[in-house]
Amino acid sequence: MVEGEKRRSTPALRPSTILPVKISIVVPAFNEERLLGDSLAEMKTAAKAFMPLGWEWELVVCDNNSTDRTAEIARAAGARVVFEPVNQIARARNAGATAATGEWLIFIDADSHPSEALFADVAEAIRSGKYLAGGATVRMDREPLAAKIMIPIWTLISRTLKWCAGSFIFCEASAFREIGGFSNELYMAEELDLSRRLKRLAKKNRKRIVILARHPLITSARKLKLYSMREHLWLLFRVLVTPRRTMTRRENAHLWYDGRR
């Protein structure tokens, strides 16, 4: 009787109560001097969510061969800056992850603003011990007609298929390295490829992928302003018709690499 009462009165220890957790926030950045400063400031504010847990965190920015003040702005914000000479988002994220020292990685785009509440949701997911990786729903800082149509469709797909938006992905660092990180063959949709491989590993390890929905990530709608609907639809058509050929050639991914900011 006494033994049984002792067992009932002893709470199960969660992973975070056994070992401290360190979070590495990894930001790929190519010519982002206009938006990077504000974005990093928002990330640092959001990271306050880790303080009550006693968790450490670090900010790692990968300068992806920028020709502007991106690296200077990142250093001024207190980030560790690494350099990737090949202009490719997958390589930039991988370079940042290689330099990261945390047990968990959070990949965030340089034009995106996470909230403290979103980071608190990430911490809760990590502490549960149920998840290998996850993402978040997305909201744009402006809502032109295209965004009002596209975002709900993407949200439904993301939450149903557990596909993580590239602007916000968190995962165990060991899992990321086990699957080889982002594919260096892809110049677009590398986050979907990563999601697919993380889902496979999660199933093997009897864990799950989660798409957090209570507090969306705020990201820039600049691509909808800089590029016409015709350009977006033409790219989508090419991806649907010749997916591998389109996604593995840098010249086809001009929406990300032509330098318009």
pLDDT (average), residues 182-202:
97
For the ranges 126-130, 182-186, 230-234, which has the lowest average pLDDT? 230-234
CA distance 41 to 206: 36
Over the chain, what is the mean pLDDT? 91
Maximal C-alpha separation, the chain: 73
The rounded percent of the chain whose pLDDT value lies above 70 is 93
pLDDT(4) > 50: no
Q: What is the pLDDT of residue 19?
A: 67
Average pLDDT for residues 164-186, to the nearest whole number? Answer: 98
Who wins on pLDDT, 70 or 256? 70
Residue 10 has pLDDT above 50, yes or no: no
Indicate the range of 132-146, 158-172, 228-242 predicted with least confidence. 228-242
Query: Per the structure block, which two tokens stand in for 218?
Result: 């705020």
Kindly report the three-state secondary structure assignment for every residue of 158-174: HHHHCCCCCCEEEEEHH
Strands (E), 173-207: none
- Is pLDDT at 120 greater than 50 in this prediction? yes
Determine the Cα–Cα distance for residues 242 and 249; give it in Å rounded to an integer.
11
Q: How deeply is 65 buried, as exposed, middle or buried, from its count of CB atoms within 10 A (0-12, 13-18, 19+)?
A: middle
Give residue 80's identity as a one-letter amino acid code.
R
Alpha-carbon torsion, ordered 102, 133, 253, 142, to 10 deg: -100
Average pLDDT over residues 237-243: 87
CATH number of the domain located at residue range(s) 18-220 in this protein: 3.90.550.10
